[in-house]
Structure 1
Amino acid sequence: MEKASLIGLDLRQSQILSEELNILLANYQLFYMNLRGFHWNIKGEKFFELHAKFEELYNDVQLKIDEIAERILTLGFVPEHTFSDYQKKSEIKEAKNVIEGTEAVSLILQAFKILLVEERKILKIASEAEDEGTNSLMSDYIKQKEKQVWMFSAYLQKK
């Protein structure tokens, strides 16, 4: 296995996975920053409910950021680590001065969609590469996020 990494995966496939994981990392970093802003700046009737929910979300995203970066390192590559690189690679864009709950939740749902599309892309590549570590990580993220989409969508529904 001349072209295999230390964990026994094809080096070329690992490189492709690392590139996609860096895109996911960039998206999560922008999402994290947006969530912090939503948490700090939310106002209005649902302040207490949303303030706590946004904190729960950004704490979860912070853990995922670390897991993704460590997975890139495990594959033998370097995770992106500058905000300018994140801005270039991220489909999620910064949300500035969002204070209204339904706007913040709508932006969260848009971010979830972007993240789910990228996670499914990585899941497919990981499956083809027989990379169970990345596959498992993406499966867990997708399952959790699909439930969050349902919950946040329900929050936006009118009575």
Structure 2
Amino acid sequence: MTTTNLIGLNRNGAEDLAAQLNDLLANYQVLYMNVRGFHWNIKGVDFFELHTKFEEIYNVLLEKVDEIAERVLTLGQQPLHAFSDYLQLSQIQQAINISSGADGIDSLLEGYQVLIAKQRQILNAAGELGDEGTAALMSDYLSQQEKESWMLAAYRGRGA
């Protein structure tokens, strides 16, 4: 039996990396549902602006959910697909019945902090494994979410 997988990565390393990606996937799924809820339930003077912004964000999150799951498959593993698994693994907690724009943004910023930390860890692990595909994905996600975090914090009147 060969020690590398279909794409030439160390089998054990790829398995470990896929487990980290499944953990990330769980966090993305919970954050995605949270932001859907913010979009649906937002009220107040910033309704039109934030209703649109939350929709933009949840569409981006959904795209990343698919990319992460497909990366797990590319590494030769199976992505988690039960919401019960997501809730059990996710560090991001469910945000229920949030209708305040400020509370939604604050919750989103907390979620981004979790994702950013996990993606940095995965980026490092992918680099050590020589997995450029996963590293590139994490690098792209990090740069996007760092900028989005700065912008949302500025919207809330806070510094980075």
AA of the residue aligned to 2:120: R
Residue equivalent to 1:37:
37
The runs of 4+ residues in structure 1 deviating greater than 3 Å are: none
Structure 1 residue 47 displacement after superposition: 0.2
Residue equivalent to 2:157:
157
> 1:145 and 1:32 mapped to 2: Cα distance?
14
**Is residue 73 from structure 1 mapped to residue 73 from structure 2 by the alignment?**
yes
Residue equivalent to 2:94:
94
Structure 1 residue 131 displacement after superposition: 0.1
Structure 1 residue 2 displacement after superposition: 2.3
Alignment of 1:3-152 (within 5 A): 3-152=3-152
Give me the TM-score of the superposition, normalised by structure 2. 0.97
Question: What per-residue deviation string (whole Å, max 9, x for no partner) do you get for residues 96-151 of structure 1?
Answer: 00000100000000000000000000000000000000000000000000000100
> 1:20 and 1:103 mapped to 2: Cα distance?
29
Question: What per-residue deviation string (whole Å, max 9, x for no partner) do you get for residues 11-69 of structure 1?
Answer: 01101100000000000000000000000000000000000000000000000000000
- Secondary structure in structure 2 of the residue aligned to 1:143: helix
Unaligned segments of structure 1, at least 5 residues: none
> 1:53 and 1:99 mapped to 2: Cα distance?
14
AA of the residue aligned to 1:106: D
Structure 1 residue 74 displacement after superposition: 0.3
> 2:108 and 2:6 mapped to 1: Cα distance?
38
AA of the residue aligned to 2:118: E
Unaligned segments of structure 2, at least 5 residues: none
AA of the residue aligned to 1:10: N
Give me the TM-score of the superposition, normalised by structure 1. 0.98
> 1:6 and 1:45 mapped to 2: Cα distance?
53
AA of the residue aligned to 1:144: Q
AA of the residue aligned to 2:104: A
> 1:90 and 1:124 mapped to 2: Cα distance?
20
AA of the residue aligned to 2:140: D
Percent sequence identity over matched residues? 52
